[in-house]
Amino acid sequence: MIPFNLEYYAPDNLDEAVELFLTLEAENKKPVYYGGGSEIISFSRHRKINTGAVIDLKSIPETRIFEVKEEKLITGANATLSILTDQDIYPLLARITRHIADRTVRNRLTVGGNICGKLPYREAVLPFLLSDSEAVLAGPNGRRKEKLGNIFDKRLRLDKGELLVQLLTPLSSLKFKSWSRRREKHGPVDYPLLHLAAVEDGERISVAVSGLCAFPFRDLGLENMLNDKNLQVLEKVEKSLTLLPGDIRSDDIGSADYRQALWKHELSEMLNEMEGAR
């Protein structure tokens, strides 16, 4: 049970949603957009979120689609993780989302809620970063498209009142050779100690990571080093520790030293497998 009162709104379209946000913000109700709602409800129960109003976006058709159109895979922000797990269009996306919570919870969790959430893992963003997907956004200044990698820096950087509508993924990127490895403490649906995902397009390896730092990331400086043909695998693994975009995470499920050991092992495994395939 949420220990405070709040107002609930369910707009029919994006313009109405944004207008509601601006009106409620002007009334100092600290509105939040609502998709699956699992994280908002959980954080509210522990008073980590205190809002006077939620704007439920699930009735807006553009946010719920999952389809191929004009050489792009269109993923609505309110597509559930179960939908993404069950599809066979983008296998890497299915593999990554399969371990985010259990089936019952994935029926409620949405890709937008995962990517925009406050938890440090947000694993659903990894395949979209690796595929150079675009984000479709809507806000007070209208709609815009941005490369996801340009606006995801530790978290999705949205303007005030802006919301994620869709992710557009070029079909050509879904054909890349892919690799992923997730390590947990208690079981396959536990939070990850480390989740390393990679793709190889025939010339270059790209990597995206969750669990290692306090945020998910894809770092081009790290990738440039990993693709340096003058370095051996063990050299790359050691040098990678100096190029991480943040400190290695330490918490009650794993120390920084343990996560570092996992990182070195899995990165080595990935490089040996992916480089051997060239």
pLDDT tens readout for residues 40-70: 445 444 445 567 888 999 999 999 999 999 9
Angle between helices 256-276 and 233-240 (to 10 degrees): 150
**Residue among 184, 49, 23, 46 nearest 34 (CA):** 49
Sequential DSSP letters for 96-153: HHTTSS-HHHHTT-BHHHHHHSSSS--TTHHHHHHTT-EEEEEETTEEEEEEHHHHEE
**Domain 61-173 maps to which CATH number in 3.90.25.10, 3.10.310.10, 3.30.465.10, 3.30.460.80?**
3.30.465.10
Which tens digit of pLDDT belongs to each residue from 153-170?
999 999 999 999 999 999
Q: What is the pTM of this model?
A: 0.92
What residues does each domain of the chain span?
7-56, 61-173, 177-276
Predicted confidence (pLDDT) at residue 216 exceeds the cutoff of 70: yes
Pick the CATH number of 177-276 from 3.30.365.10, 3.40.50.720, 3.30.390.50, 3.90.1150.10: 3.30.390.50
Which among 118, 98, 76 has a CA at the least distance from the CA of 197?
98
pLDDT band at residue 37 using 50, 70 and 90 as cut-offs: low
Q: Which CATH architecture has domain 7-56?
A: 2-Layer Sandwich (3.30)
